[in-house]
Structure 1
Amino acid sequence: MKELQVIYDSQIFDFQTFGGISRYFCEIIPRMNITFDITVRYSENIYLKESKLCKHRLPIPQWLFYKYKNKLLKKNRKFSEDILRSSSTYLLHATYYEPYFLNRIGNNPYVITVHDMIYEKLPEFFSEEERKFILEQKKKVITQADRIIAISQNTKQDIIDLLHIEPEKIDVIYHGTNMQKPLKKESVTLPKKFILYVGTRYSYKNFGRFIKAFSLLSLKDKELYTICTGNPFSTDEKKLFESLNIMDKVIHIHASDALLYTLYNQAEALVFPSLYEGFGIPILEAYACLCPVVISNTSCFPEIASDAAAYFDPYSETEMADAIASVIYNRTLRTELIDKGSEQLKLYSWEKAAIQTKEVYQKAMNNKLK
């Protein structure tokens, strides 16, 4: 594969400062031992910045980037288009679903990774305009791809069911995690007893029901807190906390990777209440930090966690509260889930994902040469 040039376009790096998809690319690319190019000139993506993978990236002050963001991103697009029109042979791994590249890559093959089918599965959480824009582009890019990578068997089945793609065209490649004990511990004062919620709180993430489930536990256990990472709480979220009399029991922390390890490691449990996910990297992060996992019984979760988690119906606040209680108040079960999590984690690694992705690239090239 050394002779093959792989191009990654700027799409995901243009609109993610941080996030699971851009991190995914920055994890697999350096592990594949391939000749590659990332068509980014200007970006504030933190993983791209830290990895130093992008030879074209021009560092500029943050204030200047945001002042001229639209102009700079247009330059990224123009730069991507120019490289894709190159006469040399390459494979494109498109980083998102905008189909601008379809009439610019000629006979060169392309691969797309599908991270979830959330717009298709839970349309009620998105505006009609937003869905129409995403779905039209997404369907076009997925159906015309030479190979498709799905990040779970559940996601693969969703693609087959919703877009009627041949199963043979889709390869399942699981994510990994590099969560590990930091060399230097960050100093932070934490409550003695807390459960952990990690990541964004979009509507399908089911945060509202989770908070109501926590309030049921808080009535009986005055020492229990919830710590949440991600963006600061919104006004509506604070009003919800006040209405449930738990304002002083819900803590927001903006966590670095080092601090996140500490949160996982000291938490009574990670609670992941989403209605739908394509994979669920926090599950692996919790395993790596010896934190028991309490999760929804929907979408990919049973596939990824198997018996190394306690499950609940995400639409039932009482069942969620009972599942959390069964773990945090039963030390035997808690220890058992931690041990099972350590074993389950052995199934996943970025190294394995990189090897399998490289094999997909070869399949795409071979198919094009037939």
Structure 2
Amino acid sequence: MPRPMVLRHGTHIFPTRQRVLLPNLLLNGRFLMRKATGVDRVATELAAALLACELPGVLSATHPAGVVVDQQDRPDVLMKATEVSVSRLRGQLWEQTALLQTNPQDWLLSLCNMGPVLRRKQIVMMHDAQVFREPQSYSRAFRRWYSIAQPLLARNAALVLTVSEHSKRELEAFGVVPPGKARVVHNGADHILRVTADAATLPRFKLMPQGYILAIGSSAPHKNLAFLVKAAQARTDTSQPLVIAGGGDAAVFAGQGISASDNVKILGRVSDSELRALYENATALAFPSLTEGFGLPPLEAMACGCPVIASTGGAIPEICGTAAILLDPYDQMGWTAALSTITYDPAIRFSLSQAGIARAAQFTWAAAAETLVGYLAELAQAEHPQPA
């Protein structure tokens, strides 16, 4: 079996970590083989940030045989991952078997909620406990698999990472992660600032600058978009349409009682360039989720100067702080009033925009990588204690 090739590190240096021997890391690259979700975005950006560090350890990557999806949106360093072909396995079968056959001296880094449950020399990132908190958003087979595999994975792995203090508490409360085992690595949001906004986005979707309320999300019930549609339609003036972007076309959203109309536009999946243009030109982002393990869209919007109205669900208050209008995700009248206020009050929009830019600047992928490097140093020290 070929050994994964070594990827060269970049230029970010963390002097406090330079003299610490770090473990060799093997990145579980299963996420490279599918259309990127929010979790896959985190994996891509965090891996790239690690590669940009002058680490004394080695980071390599492996993925199932096949073509990497969306290569243009993945950092070049991840494109150098070596394919590991074990029979014709794909997906979970590859993850649960082929990865067990890689070098046992390497520390496997699994960043997308799942990894080989029998691998002990592993660092796994579990982003949230949504499958346990909001089971109606997932299939029965998916729920059953996670209810068995995730607790076993968390028990066997050397280290469990998660993305917020809220998620840490939830994972412990549902018995997924043993108390005290999880460590928090906040996501970054600065990836959106590397993207050039697509100037043709607004004409393409027949939108006007500062002429719409933006929502980002899927049709999953806990995203609460049907509630948001009702709140938006209850406004006395609906001249600014609610524009929904994210996974799912009009037919998918129809299953949640959401249909396109004069004041509700459903865009479906958009590119990063289109997304930045939508953030920069929206009157506000409305994010009504019942719960989130982190909540990346509000932070991305803030980085682009877009005012944010968000719910008090899950980790959203932890991440947004005081830089957003935060509302109960069940208070329809409150959301209707907030949508109207932010539409007609430029002073509030300006204040939220400035506060959001400052808040988002606190969440960078370089900072996330440095936090992770600190945890890796602790693992290395425990494995090979150094004399004082």
TM (norm. structure 2) is 0.80
- Give the match's secondary structure for 1:221: coil
**Closer, same or farther in 2 for the Cα pair 1:149/1:329, shift >3 Å?**
same
> Aligned equivalents of 2:158 and 2:101: distance in 1?
18
> Aligned equivalents of 1:342 and 1:49: distance in 2?
24
Give the counterpart letter for 1:5 in structure 2.
N
- Give the match's secondary structure for 1:247: coil
- Give the match's secondary structure for 1:26: helix
Once the two structures are TM-superposed, the CA of residue 195 in structure 1 deviates from its matched residue by 0.1
Match of 1:64 in 2: none
**Closer, same or farther in 2 for the Cα pair 1:97/1:334, shift >3 Å?**
closer
Once the two structures are TM-superposed, the CA of residue 2 in structure 1 deviates from its matched residue by 6.9
**Closer, same or farther in 2 for the Cα pair 1:46/1:360, shift >3 Å?**
farther
* Aligned: 1:4 with 2:28: no
Once the two structures are TM-superposed, the CA of residue 36 in structure 1 deviates from its matched residue by 1.9
- Give the match's secondary structure for 1:234: helix
* Aligned: 1:51 with 2:68: no
Match of 2:212 in 1: 194
Match of 2:131 in 1: 119
**Closer, same or farther in 2 for the Cα pair 1:75/1:349, shift >3 Å?**
closer
- Give the match's secondary structure for 2:200: coil
Segment drifting more, 260-269 vs 247-256: 247-256
**Closer, same or farther in 2 for the Cα pair 1:345/1:47, shift >3 Å?**
farther
Q: What percentage of residue pairs aligned between the two structures are identical?
A: 22
- Give the match's secondary structure for 2:218: coil
- CA RMSD in angstroms comes to 2.9
Query: 1:171-217 deviations in whole A, cap 9, x for unaligned?
Result: 11110121127556431321351000113221111111111111112
Match of 1:224 in 2: 240
**Closer, same or farther in 2 for the Cα pair 1:298/1:82, shift >3 Å?**
closer
Once the two structures are TM-superposed, the CA of residue 85 in structure 1 deviates from its matched residue by 3.1
Out of 258, 261, 268, the position equivalent to 1:247 is: 261
Give the counterpart letter for 1:30 in structure 2.
A
Matched ranges for 1:1-370 at <5 A: 4-14=23-33, 16-32=34-50, 33=53, 34=55, 35-40=58-63, 41-46=65-70, 50-52=74-76, 53-56=78-81, 71=88, 73=90, 77=94, 81=97, 84-87=100-103, 89-98=105-114, 100=116, 102=118, 105=119, 109-163=121-175, 165=177, 167-177=179-189, 178-180=191-193, 182-183=195-196, 185-188=198-201, 189=203, 190-192=207-209, 193-217=211-235, 220-230=236-246, 231-234=248-251, 237=254, 240=257, 247-253=261-267, 254-369=269-384
Once the two structures are TM-superposed, the CA of residue 367 in structure 1 deviates from its matched residue by 3.2
**Closer, same or farther in 2 for the Cα pair 1:248/1:96, shift >3 Å?**
same
- Name the count of aligned residue pairs: 348
> Aligned equivalents of 1:164 and 1:86: distance in 2?
26
Asked if the contact 1:18–1:47 (Cα under 8 Å) also holds between the matched residues in 2, the reply is: no
Give the counterpart letter for 1:339 in structure 2.
Q
Segment drifting more, 261-270 vs 328-337: 328-337
**Closer, same or farther in 2 for the Cα pair 1:265/1:130, shift >3 Å?**
same
Once the two structures are TM-superposed, the CA of residue 128 in structure 1 deviates from its matched residue by 3.9
Segment drifting more, 232-241 vs 290-299: 232-241
> Aligned equivalents of 1:264 and 1:150: distance in 2?
26
> Aligned equivalents of 2:193 and 2:73: distance in 1?
21
Give the counterpart letter for 1:187 in structure 2.
A
Once the two structures are TM-superposed, the CA of residue 117 in structure 1 deviates from its matched residue by 0.4
- Give the match's secondary structure for 1:115: coil
Query: 1:200-255 deviations in whole A, cap 9, x for unaligned?
Result: 221111111111111112xx21421111212221166299456xxx7122223343
Once the two structures are TM-superposed, the CA of residue 160 in structure 1 deviates from its matched residue by 2.1
Give the counterpart letter for 1:55 in structure 2.
K
User: Structure 1: which 5+ residue stretches go unaligned?
Assistant: 59-69
Once the two structures are TM-superposed, the CA of residue 6 in structure 1 deviates from its matched residue by 0.5
Asked if the contact 2:46–2:368 (Cα under 8 Å) also holds between the matched residues in 1, the reply is: yes
Segment drifting more, 289-298 vs 130-139: 130-139
Once the two structures are TM-superposed, the CA of residue 89 in structure 1 deviates from its matched residue by 1.8
- Give the match's secondary structure for 2:274: helix
Higher-helix-fraction structure: 1
Asked if the contact 1:109–1:364 (Cα under 8 Å) also holds between the matched residues in 2, the reply is: no
Once the two structures are TM-superposed, the CA of residue 349 in structure 1 deviates from its matched residue by 0.2
> Aligned equivalents of 1:75 and 1:299: distance in 2?
28
> Aligned equivalents of 1:120 and 1:238: distance in 2?
22
